[in-house]
Amino acid sequence: MQGEDDAELTAAVLAAQDGDETAFRTVYRTVHPRLLGYVRTLVGDLDAEDVASEAWLQIARDLDRFSGDADRFRGWAARIARNRALDHIRMRGRRPAIGGDETELTGRPAEADTAGEAIESLSTDAALALIAQLPQDQAEAVVLRVVVGLDAKSAADTLGKRPGAVRTAAHRGLKRLAELMGAEGPAQGQGLGAVPPQPDPHGRAVPPPSCVTHSRTRTQKDM
């Protein structure tokens, strides 16, 4: 299904570049929800729609300059959205708390994998509510990797960092999300096909298995 979805988005982008307005609406409907989620991690709920609209105006204006497939388009759109968000932040006199250690990962604890799989089962609002509690660099890395669906290199290009730094931030963010989901309990997992968590033999609730909410999600195993 992922390949089919990517092929459809690639075809829609190409048609939109030829002036097909219906194809552009298809591109918008496909990409906008995840792009908006990313913008929300940068500017908050109040301004996210306005900033995303500014990003789409630039995407539409510069679309004929874009070259690439669906995955490259997601990364290109995310870079535009991030630039518009940072412009917005500068105009308001605020700075995002972006930073973090750029050490390459040498290990990937199991709880981070569990968090990535569980995040896939949450509704967008529930997932972003948890992600918003992370440091900004971790929040951006997790959203770009798990929600937007970029690989480490594309996410790194978007953030202007090395792929190793993005893997590190995503790993730490997913590990922290595992802790947050344990503290929040199962009520967060309702939405977009989530199933109730099942108790393990010791009576602890465990996240539902692989309830994927979209075709481009990746767990920490893929990072």
Residue 196 has a pLDDT of 33
Residue 123 has a pLDDT of 54
Which tens digits make up the pLDDT trace of 148-174?
888 888 899 999 999 899 889 988 988
Mean pLDDT of the chain: 74
Secondary structure (3-state) at 102: coil
Instruction: Evaluate whether 74 touches 31 at the Cβ level (below 8 Å).
Output: yes
Stretch 21-31: mean pLDDT: 95
The residue with greater pLDDT, 108 or 140, is 140
Q: How many CB atoms lie within 10 A of CB 107?
A: 6
Q: How many helices (H) and strands (E) does the chain have?
A: 9, 2
With a cut of 80, say whether residue 26 has pLDDT above it. Answer: yes
Q: Among residues 115, 124, 150, which one has the least CA distance to residue 48?
A: 124
Question: How would you classify the pairing of strands 198-199 and 205-206?
Answer: antiparallel
The band of 209, judged by pLDDT with boundaries at 50, 70 and 90, is very low
Structure token digits, residue 201: 């033999």
Q: How many CB atoms lie within 10 A of CB 24?
A: 19
Q: What is the reported pTM?
A: 0.64
The residue with greater pLDDT, 57 or 207, is 57
Q: Among residues 59, 54, 49, which one has the least CA distance to residue 28?
A: 59
Which tens digits make up the pLDDT trace of 45-83?
889 999 999 999 999 999 999 999 998 999 999 999 999
Q: How many CB atoms lie within 10 A of CB 75?
A: 22
Stretch 105-115: mean pLDDT: 40
The band of 25, judged by pLDDT with boundaries at 50, 70 and 90, is very high
Residues with Cβ within 8 Å of residue 66, at least 6 apart in sequence: 13, 17, 72, 73, 76
Phi then psi for residue 204, to 5 deg, are -85, 145
